[in-house]
Each structure stands twice: as structure tokens, then as C-alpha cells.
């Protein structure tokens, strides 16, 4: 029998299939110390539903300001500094901000990301989904990640942020540059290329912001520029750029991951497809069950602000904590037979895939809508969906659950 100490959490193979490890961790050490990448801070991994939830809700002891942890190497590098000096300062607005600053940004952005704004995107999403299916349906097969799951969220967000079709490759390049910086594994040349991309992104959106100020349109970026709440000033350019950057990063990869993971689950559980076709009301639950099973954002950081104790474990101020959404979402205490994919699961929506508390995902409503419309039209137009011989492959990643490719076949 394997022991917890036999596992290395950072082993790429474990990251691809961590569930056996999580089961043991939940039984024996739902909060456990891992080897830390930093000599000055201990690192803890949290896998139980209740502890993850407790940490997310306690923003005083568990801070989201982990931006210094993820910051690039610009502080020690003159050339990088020179490049960044040509843009706007990068500030903490949502994901990496704590109260009270977080409150102001979130209130303003909530105004823009309203349910009426998301509902207005319905027809656009339907149209993009149909066009993407049109592009591959005649071949009775496709590589689902690149032909569907990547372009859908990119096109939706691009349209809402006022990026014309011709600029889509640039848009994707910037999004990848932000994610590459978060990954911390760049060579100096790559750091420099990313810095140029960040500054190019800022200038591009500065121009879009200015044009929306002069000529408002019916889109998200206009809503952001105009957002106002009582007693608060409007968002300035650096703040707007930081928020747009987060929408870009948080809104593309995650939805891609969710769409692809759901398709893979359907091909592996084909007996559940007729249930969905017979009762379209089940589609809503399908979306929740996919989010629970695959948790596109698999984990997230918190920094301990004051000495504290969790389940008899001492956590010193400055320690790093990684909460695992993908573990919590299969915790047997919360989800019976959590390893089983079940489109009829009663409490599927209790998952923590969008987080909890003040940082609860800003784009949850949009992500759910994109997934719902996508599965509805895919199941309507593609019959007998199955995994193709080339199969699928996951990419090991500490924070994200990512499918590199997924080949499917179907009848028209």
C-alpha cells in the first residue's frame, strides 16, 4: 500500500491524475506541508472541502496578495524596466487584491459584468458556436481543443472588449504572454518578449478605452469605462488595463479547459448522452458536474498574514497556502462517489470551481452560459460522439487543468 510520503505533488504525472493522492491526503493530512520553492516561506497544501472553504472565506488571515510571489524579474533587470516604463503601472485590482481595495474594484466591475450584459451575449455565443461547428462538421471529426474550445471564449471576450476579428491572433498572443509570466519558467529572452507583449497590449487597449469614452458602444468595455458607484471615482486607465488583463487571462484558458474536459467526459460516459438529449433541463446540471469533476482552475494561492493554526498545524505569517479546488470537489464528505461522473448528481452545483466569498469568479455567469450553449448545440448537431484513435493528452500544470488535444469523431 502506498503512503502519503511516497507521492511528490509536483511530479507531472501526479498533476495529470492526482485523485489517488488526494484521497489519502484527505484521510490522513487534509492540510500538509510540501517542499517550498522559497527558503523564507513554508508551503502548505489543502485538500479537504471544509478547509478550502474556511480559508477562502477568511480574507483577513489568508491574503490574496500573492502578486509579489508571481512577479516577474523586472525589478533587477534594467532592460525589462525600460520596456515596462513605456506602459502603465501594473496594479492589483481583483484577483490579487485584499479588502478594502478589493471591494471598490469589485463593486465597479460588477456594475459592468451585470446579468443583463451577460444575457445580451446569448445570441453572439450561439452564433459563434454554430459557426465553429459549421467549420468541422462535414469531416465527421475534429481536434476539439483547437477547433472549438480555444476559439469560442477568445471570440466572445474579444468581441466584448472591442477587438476586431483581424486582431484575434494578437489578442491570443497577449493572453498567452500573461499566462507565461505567471508560470515563472521563462528564459530572459522570453521575459523580454513577454514584456513587449504586455506593453503592446496596454497601448492597444488604451486606444480602445479612449475611443469608447468618445463613442460609447453596447459592449462590456464601454460598461467598464462608464462604471460608477455612489461615492466612488470611475476606474482610471491603469486600473482599467489591469481589469481587462484579468478578464483576458481568467476568461480564456478556464473556459477552454471546461469545454474540452466536458467533451472528454461525455465521450467516456456515452450512456449519459441520451439522458441529456431526452431532457434538455439536465444540461444545466451537466455544466455543474463537468465543473465539479474537472475543476479548470485546479488550485489557487493564499498568503498567511498572521500566525494561526488549522487543524493542529501551525501556520506562520508569510507561509504560502495552496487551496486545491480539484480535491475539494471530490471530497467524499461532500460528494458521494465523487470520482463518478453523473449528469443527474443532486448536489453537483455545490462545487468550489468558481471559488467562494469575495473573490467568487466574476465570469461564472458567462462561463456557465458559454458551456450551456456549447453542449446544447454540440449534442443537437453531432450524433454518436466518440473518442478518435489519436485520443487526448493532458498538460501537467500546478494551477490549471489543461487538455493539450482531444480528437473526437461523430456522425452528422
Q: What does the binding site for ligand HEM look like in residue numbers (CB under 6 A)?
A: 56, 64, 94-95, 106, 157, 246-247, 250-251, 254-255, 258, 296-297, 300, 325, 353-355, 359, 361-363, 366-367
Q: Is 42 helix (H, G, I), strand (E, B) or coil?
A: coil
* Nearer to ligand HEM among residue 26 and residue 295 (C-beta): 295
CA 229, 230, 235 angle in degrees (round to 5)? Answer: 40
CA 119 to chain centre: 21
Side by side, the strands of the sheet bearing 31-34 are: 31-34, 43-46, 320-324, 299-304, 62-63
* Nearer to ligand HEM among residue 4 and residue 71 (C-beta): 71
For ligand HEM, which residue has the nearest CB?
Answer: 363
d(CA 245, CA 299): 20
CB count within 10 Å of CB 356 equals 17
CB count within 10 Å of CB 103 equals 13
Least distance between ligand HEM and beta carbon 274 (Å): 25
* Nearer to ligand HEM among residue 155 and residue 191 (C-beta): 155
Least distance between ligand HEM and beta carbon 377 (Å): 18
* Nearer to ligand HEM among residue 21 and residue 113 (C-beta): 113
Note whether 305 and 373 are within 8 A (CB).
no
d(CA 160, CA 169): 16
* Nearer to ligand HEM among residue 80 and residue 296 (C-beta): 296
Least distance between ligand HEM and beta carbon 140 (Å): 28
* Nearer to ligand HEM among residue 140 and residue 356 (C-beta): 356
Residues 6+ apart with CB under 8 A from 6: none
* Nearer to ligand HEM among residue 103 and residue 236 (C-beta): 103
Note whether 239 and 91 are within 8 A (CB).
yes
d(CA 249, CA 176): 8
Least distance between ligand HEM and beta carbon 293 (Å): 12
Go through the chain and tell me how many residues it has: 412
Instruction: Give the strand pairing for 402-411 and 141-143.
Output: antiparallel
Amino acid at each position: 500500500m502506498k503512503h502519503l510520503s511516497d507521492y511528490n505533488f509536483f511530479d507531472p504525472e501526479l498533476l495529470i491524475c492526482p485523485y489517488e493522492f488526494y484521497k489519502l491526503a484527505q484521510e490522513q493530512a487534509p492540510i500538509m506541508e510540501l517542499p517550498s520553492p522559497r527558503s523564507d516561506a513554508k508551503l502548505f497544501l489543502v485538500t479537504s472541502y471544509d478547509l478550502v472553504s474556511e480559508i477562502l472565506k477568511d480574507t483577513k488571515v489568508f491574503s490574496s496578495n500573492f502578486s509579489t510571489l508571481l512577479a516577474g524579474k523586472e525589478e533587477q533587470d534594467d532592460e525589462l524596466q525600460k520596456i515596462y516604463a513605456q506602459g502603465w503601472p501594473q496594479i492589483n485590482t481583483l484577483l490579487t487584491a485584499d479588502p478594502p481595495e478589493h471591494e471598490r474594484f469589485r463593486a465597479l466591475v460588477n456594475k459592468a459584468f451585470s446579468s443583463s450584459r451577460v444575457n445580451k451575449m446569448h445570441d453572439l455565443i450561439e452564433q459563434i458556436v454554430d459557426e465553429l461547428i459549421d467549420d468541422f462538421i462535414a469531416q465527421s471529426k475534429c481536434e476539439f481543443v483547437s477547433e472549438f474550445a480555444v476559439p469560442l471564449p477568445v471570440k466572445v471576450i474579444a468581441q466584448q472588449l472591442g477587438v476586431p476579428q483581424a486582431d484575434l491572433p494578437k489578442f491570443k498572443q497577449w493572453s498567452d504572454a500573461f499566462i507565461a509570466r505567471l508560470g515563472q519558467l521563462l528564459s530572459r529572452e522570453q521575459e523580454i518578449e513577454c514584456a513587449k507583449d504586455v506593453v503592446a497590449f496596454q497601448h492597444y487597449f488604451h486606444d480602445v478605452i479612449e475611443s469608447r469614452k468618445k463613442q460609447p458602444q453596447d459592449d462590456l468595455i464601454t460598461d467598464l469605462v462608464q462604471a460608477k458607484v455612489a461615492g466612488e471615482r470611475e476606474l482610471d486607465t491603469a486600473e482599467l488595463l489591469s481589469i481587462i488583463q484579468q478578464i483576458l487571462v481568467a476568461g480564456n484558458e478556464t473556459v477552454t479547459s471546461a469545454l474540452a474536459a466536458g467533451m472528454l467526459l461525455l465521450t467516456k460516459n456515452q450512456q449519459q448522452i441520451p439522458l441529456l438529449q431526452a431532457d434538455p433541463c439536465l444540461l444545466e446540471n451537466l455544466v455543474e458536474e463537468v465543473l465539479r469533476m474537472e475543476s479548470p482552475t485546479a488550485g489557487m494561492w493564499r498568503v498567511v498574514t498572521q500566525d494561526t493554526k488549522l487543524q493542529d498545524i501551525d501556520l506562520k505569517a508569510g507561509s504560502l497556502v495552496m487551496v486545491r479546488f480539484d480535491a475539494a470537489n471530490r471530497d467524499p464528505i461532500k460528494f458521494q462517489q465523487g470520482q463518478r461522473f453523473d449528469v443527474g448528481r443532486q448536489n453537483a452545483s455545490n462545487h468550489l470551481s468558481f471559488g467562494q466569498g469575495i473573490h467568487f469568479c466574476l465570469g461564472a455567469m458567462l462561463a456557465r452560459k458559454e458551456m450551456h450553449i456549447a453542449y446544447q448545440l454540440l449534442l443537437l448537431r453531432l450524433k454518436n460522439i466518440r473518442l478518435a484513435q489519436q485520443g487526448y493528452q493532458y498538460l501537467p500544470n500546478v494551477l490549471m487543468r489543461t487538455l493539450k488535444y482531444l480528437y473526437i469523431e461523430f456522425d452528422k
